[in-house]
């Protein structure tokens, strides 16, 4: 029996989420005069979102299943705190039909669609069947109940390769695999099922024909409980890595007014067909010339006159429905920027039973907005999620005309239990290029030290000529523009090395003066060795009359020695974190964070980390050995080899799961497995030895 949805006025809202998501929701809830309640896990006791609410309730342990996915604990928290409405945010339980039903059954208002609507659209297979009945164009594929490998192999042969394997129960790139040939399909199915089980609690899969180089475009819809549905234009989310969005913008450079109207009409028609209430997003692939299907939409018929609603004519781009997100999207801020509407406000108004006062003709798109997702991840290591301390966090909020949504705290940490996205930065301008320039400058002043992030990568994307033009961007943009170079670690220039060494020594000086005197580092030459991976630099600093002479020499390879004259050095703050120094006649500014054996520096728009190498410390070369260590803290999903097995370089060894993603570790060398320290189902800490391979002796 379907639980009836509660639609009525309320006075206090509990936000069933964490971090920047909770903070963003709480901001609007409080502005509208409602009471606010936050929930938190044991790991989030000091999180900023806890302090952003009137009340906060502890709901369980650090693991999501013990806290943010614990429906009973959240309902009880609402009861204890006196909340009569629940906003799920986005992520965690936001698209969980059982949660929506439980909130309604408890007599609380769920600020989102009904459990029935979530259930209908939450499964990709079911969603495609429903929207096709409303003549929505869909990609040819397989969404059958038979989930055996044999059924998928047979269906893939009919569809034709390449195909996309997708998790039926969720999105965000999890449980998604591109398969180019039949032989690779069984392994892709197994891997996608495993990841989908972890991320969504369901291993159900679907197949879709792969559209080559499409754009990812989505339509924002708003629907009230009185039968009114409108759309708020589109967002372009084509810049992705690992099938996950990195940069989003509105409107799309590839969508004109005519195509926008047709896509919007299709989205509104489908939302009405399922009786949708609230804010939601219809996601589409836009085929601008890649591989397309033939004939009318799958499962539907061509409309009268024989035209295809997907295209603007024989040569126009075609759009295909992918899925509906029955929640607020991470990228909703770009829609807010160009429409002037607060989507959370409208979620609250609709949930309280108010009708939409906006007609479709009232919607105006003003200028252009672009958003980037700042994530804690190691880009050269394949965008591997990272955890660790937040030693410095200086978001670009002063003088950059951008919106920054975040839940970070300097001195805090990024936890292994939750998603790697830690902030989003949005710029709005009258033109796309002005918005892009604003965002690029903001990212070049976004300081995060203590753990790797994609800050530099985002700046590179925004500066890229193809992205700046906008016309040829597609979901393969990252690979097409950066290719193998994305796996190469950037090498700092000698000036950055000199500033890192100087700042490291200056930070250790006694006294409270902000100005760094000429004799502060002593009269004897100071020597530091800094390392990054296998690269090492020797820096010597000598105090002279009114300046310091810095020389930088590369130790691991032959390079020219660089010399710099440093003068006028001073700290910008009493904590000695921001340093200004004139280097060869040019003022350089940097932000520093020091650890016992490391120097972290933000300089010239990039974050750098160096190891301080002591005179006596022995260094073992990192490349060429057979030790396989955990690149992050996580759960061991699978160990594919045993002691004594012979392995080839690149062979799959261990699968780790962390931050909702699976990560496959492969053999660094050819040889024999000499030691296995990992066990499926166990946990690994970052840097722990998982197994060791020895080269076979001739």
**Mean pLDDT on 262-278:** 95
- Percent of the chain's residues with pLDDT above 90: 68
Summarised one tens digit per residue, pLDDT across range 21-30 is: 999 999 999 9
- Residues with Cβ within 8 Å of 389's Cβ and at least 6 positions away in sequence, in order, are 411, 412, 413, 450, 451
3-state SS record for 521-582: CCCCCEEEEEEECCEEEEEEEEECCCCEEEEEEECCCCCCCEEEEEEEEEECCCCCCEEEEE
Per-residue pLDDT for 607 more than 80?
yes
Query: What pLDDT, on the 0 to 100 scale, is given for residue 616?
Result: 43
Give me the residues paired with residue 141 across strands: 208
Annotation: CATH topology of 494-612? Glycoprotein, Type 4 Pilin (3.30.700)
Q: Which CATH superfamily is domain 140-209 in?
A: ATP-grasp fold, A domain (3.30.1490.20)
Read off the pLDDT of residues 373-387 as tens digits, 9 standing for 90 and up.
999 999 999 999 999
Closest by CA to 450, choosing from 506, 386, 496, is 386
3-state secondary structure 422-486: EEEEEEEECCHHHHHHHHHHHHCCCEEECCCCCHHHHHHHHHCHHHHHCCCCCCCHHHHHHHHHH
Query: Would you state the CATH architecture of domain 12-111?
Result: 3-Layer(aba) Sandwich (3.40)
Q: What pLDDT, on a 0 to 100 scale, did the predictor assign at position 303?
A: 32
| Inter-residue contact 324 to 270 (CB < 8 Å) | yes
Of the chain, the end-to-end C-alpha distance in Å amounts to 70
pLDDT digits (tens, 9 = 90+) for 297-334: 333 333 323 334 444 443 457 899 988 999 999 999 99
| Whole-number pLDDT of residue 297 | 35
Q: What is the mean pLDDT of residues 422-447?
A: 98
Identify any residues that bridge with 13 across adjacent strands, giving them in sequence order. Answer: 36, 85
Equal CATH topology for 12-111 and 372-480: no
Q: Which fold has domain 627-694?
A: OB fold (Dihydrolipoamide Acetyltransferase, E2P) (2.40.50)
Position 619 confidence tier, pLDDT thresholds 50, 70, 90: very low
pLDDT bracket for residue 169 (50, 70, 90): confident
The whole-number pLDDT of residue 631 equals: 79
Write down the architecture of domain 113-137+215-292+309-366 according to CATH.
2-Layer Sandwich (3.30)
Residue with the larger pLDDT of the pair 82 and 127? 82
* Alpha-carbon span 160 to 140, nearest angstrom: 10
**pLDDT for residue 547:** 87
pTM metric for this prediction? 0.85
Domain boundaries in the chain?
A: 12-111, 113-137+215-292+309-366, 140-209, 372-480, 494-612, 627-694
For 372-480, CATH gives 3.30.470.20
Distance separating alpha carbons of residues 349 and 351, to the nearest angstrom = 5
| Tens digits of residue pLDDT in 321-373 | 988 999 999 999 999 999 999 999 999 999 999 999 999 999 999 999 999 99
Predicted local confidence at residue 522, as pLDDT: 58
Side-chain half-sphere CA neighbours of 404 within 13 A: 22
pLDDT category at 511 given cuts 50, 70, 90 is low
User: In the chain, pLDDT over 70 holds for what percent of residues?
Assistant: 92
Per-residue pLDDT at 630:
85
**Which parts of 116-181 are beta strand (E)?**
141-142, 163-167, 177-179
CA atoms within 13 A on the CB side of 621: 5
How many angstroms separate the Cα of 79 from the Cα of each of 12, 15, 16?
11, 13, 13
């Amino acid at each position: 029996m379907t639980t009836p949805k509660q639609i009525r006025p309320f006075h206090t809202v509990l936000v069933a989420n964490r971090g920047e998501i909770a903070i963003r929701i709480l901001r609007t809830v409080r502005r509208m005069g409602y009471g606010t309640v936050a929930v938190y896990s044991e790991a989030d006791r000091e999180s900023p979102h806890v302090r952003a609410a009137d009340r906060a309730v502890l709901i369980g342990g650090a693991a999501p299943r013990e806290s943010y996915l614990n429906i009973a604990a959240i309902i009880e928290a609402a009861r204890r705190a006196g909340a009569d409405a629940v906003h799920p945010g986005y992520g965690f339980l936001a698209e969980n039909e059982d949660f929506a039903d439980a909130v309604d059954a408890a007599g609380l208002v769920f600020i989102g669609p009904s459990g029935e609507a979530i259930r209908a659209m939450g499964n990709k297979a079911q969603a495609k069947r429903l929207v096709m009945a409303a003549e929505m164009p869909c990609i040819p594929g397989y969404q059958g109940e038979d989930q055996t490998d044999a059924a998928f192999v047979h269906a893939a042969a009919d569809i034709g390769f390449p195909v996309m394997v997708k998790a039926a129960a969720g999105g965000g790139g999890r449980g998604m695999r591109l398969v180019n040939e039949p032989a690779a399909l069984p392994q892709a199915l197994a891997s996608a099922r495993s990841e989908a089980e972890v991320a969504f609690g369901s291993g159900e899969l679907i197949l879709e024909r792969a559209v080559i180089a499409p754009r990812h475009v989505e339509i924002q819809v708003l629907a009230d409980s009185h039968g009114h549905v409108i759309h708020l234009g589109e967002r372009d989310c084509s810049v992705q890595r690992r099938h996950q969005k990195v940069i989003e913008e509105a409107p799309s450079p590839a969508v004109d007014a005519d195509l926008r109207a047709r896509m919007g009409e299709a989205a509104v028609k489908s939302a009405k067909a399922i009786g949708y209430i609230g804010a939601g997003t219809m996601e589409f692939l836009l085929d601008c010339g890649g591989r397309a299907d033939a004939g009318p939409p799958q499962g539907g018929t061509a409309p009268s006159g024989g035209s295809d609603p997907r295209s603007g004519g024989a040569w126009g781009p075609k759009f295909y429905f992918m899925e509906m997100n029955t929640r607020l999207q991470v990228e909703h801020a770009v829609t807010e920027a160009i429409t002037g509407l607060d989507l959370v406000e409208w979620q609250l108004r609709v949930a309280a039973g108010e009708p939409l006062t906006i007609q479709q003709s009232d919607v105006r798109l003003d200028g252009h907005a672009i958003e980037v997702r700042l994530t804690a991840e190691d880009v050269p290591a394949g965008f591997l999620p990272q955890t660790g301390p937040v030693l410095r966090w200086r978001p670009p909020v002063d003088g950059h005309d951008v919106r920054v949504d975040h839940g970070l705290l300097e001195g805090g940490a990024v936890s292994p239990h939750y998603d790697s996205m830690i902030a989003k930065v949005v710029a709005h301008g009258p033109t796309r290029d002005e918005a892009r320039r604003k965002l690029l400058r903001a990212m070049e002043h976004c300081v995060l030290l203590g753990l790797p992030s994609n800050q530099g990568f985002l700046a590179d994307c925004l500066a890229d000529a193809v992205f700046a033009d906008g016309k040829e961007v597609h979901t393969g943009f990252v690979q097409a523009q950066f290719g193998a170079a994305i796996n190469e670690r950037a090498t700092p220039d000698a000036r950055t090395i000199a500033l890192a060494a100087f700042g490291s020594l200056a930070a250790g000086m006694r006294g409270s003066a902000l100005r760094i005197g000429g004799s502060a580092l002593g009269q004897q030459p100071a020597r530091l060795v800094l390392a990054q991976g296998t690269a090492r630099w020797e820096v010597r600093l000598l105090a002279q009359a009114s300046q310091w002479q810095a020389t930088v020499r590369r130790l691991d390879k032959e390079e020219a020695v660089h010399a710099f004259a440093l003068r006028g050095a001073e700290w910008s703050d009493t904590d000695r974190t921001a340093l200004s120094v004139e280097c060869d006649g040019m003022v350089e500014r940097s932000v520093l964070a020091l650890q016992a054996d490391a120097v972290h520096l933000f300089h010239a728009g990039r974050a750098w980390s160096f190891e301080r190498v002591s005179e006596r410390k022995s260094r073992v070369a990192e490349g060429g050995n057979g030790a396989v260590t955990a690149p992050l803290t996580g759960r061991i999903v699978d160990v594919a080899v045993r002691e004594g097995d012979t392995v080839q370089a690149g062979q799959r060894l261990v699968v780790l799961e962390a931050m909702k993603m699976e990560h496959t570790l492969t053999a660094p060398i050819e040889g024999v497995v000499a030691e296995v320290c990992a066990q499926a189902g166990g946990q690994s800490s970052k840097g722990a030895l998982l197994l060791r391979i020895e080269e076979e002796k001739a």
